Structure formats: C-alpha cells, structure tokens
Amino acid sequence: MDELKSYREKIDSLDRELVRLFLERMEVVKNIARYKKENHIPVLDSGREAEVIHKVKGYVDDPDMKELIAKLFAYIMEISKDIQKNTII
C-alpha cells in the first residue's frame, strides 16, 4: 500500500505542475487573443493547429502515445479557441 500511496503522491505533484503550466499557457492564449483582435486576425488558424499537433507528436516515440498526445492537444486548442473568443468579445 505504501507503493500505491507513493505513486499517488507523484501523480498529485505532476497534476499540480500540469495545472500551473496549463494556466500559464492560457494567459499566453489571452495575449494572443488581444493581439488578434487589435490586428483583425481571426481566432481560427487551422494551419497553426495542424503544425502544433505535428510538432507535439514528434516529442514522443511510442505510436500509441503520439495519438493520445494529439487528442490532448486538440482539446487544449479547443479550450484555447474558446478563451480567445471570450477575450475578443
């Protein structure tokens, strides 16, 4: 049971770091939204989204993990677009 507790503590620590990084990323997303608004650039940039997905998949070797990373970042970008839309309004 101590081993399980240790794993869970590690997960908790990683989750805190993920939340911190996510919030930091969303602050940058808000800055991008402001820039896009000032420069009359649309929120959606499908070329950039494809570029990000391709890039992050390159960070991992395991084919199964590549697809999971792609799904994760696709969802993160959906959230990012929502934040941009709400920031621009």
For residue range 42-74, what is the model confidence (pLDDT) as tens digits? 999 999 999 999 999 999 999 999 999 999 999
Q: Which domains does the chain have, with CATH numbers?
A: 2-88 (1.20.59.10)
Contact 29, 80 (CB under 8 A): yes
> CB neighbours (10 Å) of residue 33?
21
For residue 24, what are its two tokens? 């930091």
* pTM reported for the whole predicted model: 0.88
84 and 31 Cβ atoms separated by less than 8 Å? no
- Please report the pLDDT score of residue 89 as a whole number: 77
Residue 78 tokens, joined:
């959906």
